[in-house]
Amino acid sequence: MGELLLCTPTELYNILNQSTKFSRLAEPNYLCLLDARSKREYNESHIITARRVKQDEDLHFLLPESIELDCMKYCVVYDSRTNSLDGEGPALECAKGISQVCHYPVLVLKGGYEEFSGYYHFFRSQKVFWMPQEIDDFQPYPIEIIPGLLYMGDHRQANDHHIQKDLKLKSEVNVSLEPTELSVPILHIAVSDSGDSDLLQFFPTACQFIDSHMAPNCAVLVSSTLGISRSSTVVIAYLIHARKWTLQEAWNHVLKCKTNMRPNRGFVQQLSEWEKTILGRQLTDISDPNF
């Protein structure tokens, strides 16, 4: 039996946008997103890939058909506006029933459809059936690091004008050898993803650039070729600088946002040196195998 946990809109957004070479939504046991609202509300608009949960004659929620819930990594349930695990509501009732057969926690979307669609209107849909090829072709958006303010992505995303408009991206830190074509202020840090590359020397400039361009409705994108190593290194460096987090704390936050982020070993050493510069001493043991 899985426990019930609240899931913020940002967490669901990042779950929807995880990718390796392709979107993880194509994996059969990755995400089951369930809409517990009425049929009319669902048909009017719902979150992309969500299925409506059916009810029996007594209005009890039924388990979704043809879904192996016990093997599902993420099972997320939402209604219109549930904000707490206390009390009652369609999402809670549905989640409690589903939790009986799930091994992983069942997530209840905090704020429901109304809050999520308010932040991510571009993920609204009226599409009920998704063909496998359509899921395969889904193009993920950049991962959200600081809600509405800081994103991390790859080269394709950095050149997508629809993404730029939807996320209100007003500037970019491009940490790769390839140029990008967005018509916004760009800090181009042309380094290769090599253990010998010196990113440390650019941390102060990158942090100053992000600080000076990040504001409400003015988000910053940090990008690299794959959005895994160089971009995550700069984002971690920024969090150490801005939040005064340890390397461990910043690392854990970025890893939670993007589960396959991985700075190369040389960059990890440089982040350790940056932690000492910002916080006065090295507080994180980078000999830990998790680094």
DSSP string, the chain: -PPEEEE-HHHHHHHHT-BSSSBGGGSTTTEEEEE-S-HHHHHH-EETT-EEPPB-TT-PBPPPTT--GGG-SEEEEE-S----SSS--HHHHHHHHHHTT-SSPEEEETTHHHHHHHH-GGGEE------HHHHHT--PPPEEEETTTEEEE-HHHHT-HHHHHHTTEEEEEE-SSS----SS-EEE----SSTT---GGGHHHHHHHHHHH-BTTBEEEEE-SSSSSHHHHHHHHHHHHHH---HHHHHHHHHHHSTT----HHHHHHHHHHHHHHHSS--S-TTSTT-
Contact 89, 123 (CB under 8 A): no
CATH number at residue 118: 3.40.250.10
Using CA atoms, how far apart are residues 258 and 288, in angstroms rounded to an integer? 20
CATH number at residue 246: 3.90.190.10
**251 lies in a domain?**
yes
Choose the final residue of a domain: 95, 113, 136: 136
**Percent share of the chain, pLDDT over 90:** 81
20-53 confidence digits (pLDDT tens):
888 999 998 999 999 999 999 999 999 999 999 9
Cα separations in angstroms, 275 against 21, 57, 141, 247, 265: 31, 59, 29, 6, 15
Cα separations in angstroms, 265 against 47, 122, 288: 38, 37, 12
For residues 148 and 249, membership in a common domain is answered with yes
- In angstroms, what is the C-alpha Rg of the chain? 20
196-243 confidence digits (pLDDT tens):
999 999 999 999 999 999 999 999 999 999 999 999 999 999 999 999
What is the predicted pLDDT for the residue at 64?
85
Choose the final residue of a domain: 80, 110, 136: 136
For residues 96 and 78, membership in a common domain is answered with yes
**232 lies in a domain?**
yes
Cross-strand partners of 100: none
- At residue 13, φ and ψ (nearest 5 deg) are -55, -45
For residues 95 and 161, membership in a common domain is answered with no
Contact 4, 108 (CB under 8 A): yes
**240 lies in a domain?**
yes
Question: Hey, what are 16's tokens?
Answer: 């929807």
More confident residue, 10 or 88: 10
Contact 227, 176 (CB under 8 A): no
Show the domain range for 204: 143-279
For residues 112 and 238, membership in a common domain is answered with no
113-124 confidence digits (pLDDT tens):
999 999 999 999
The count of structural domains within the chain is: 2
First-last CA distance in the chain: 32
Average pLDDT over residues 86-105: 90
Pick left, alpha or beta for residue 111 (phi over 0 → left; psi -120 to 50 → alpha; otherwise beta). Answer: left
Choose the final residue of a domain: 136, 157, 187: 136
Using CA atoms, how far apart are residues 249 and 259, in angstroms rounded to an integer? 15
What's the predicted TM-score (pTM) here? 0.95
Using CA atoms, how far apart are residues 50 and 60, in angstroms rounded to an integer? 19
What is the predicted pLDDT for the residue at 55?
86
Please determine, for residue 178, whether its predicted confidence score (pLDDT) is greater than 70: yes
Q: How confident is the model at residue 1 (pLDDT cuts 50, 70, 90)?
A: low
108-112, 134-138, 280-284: range with lowest mean pLDDT? 134-138
For residues 132 and 148, membership in a common domain is answered with no
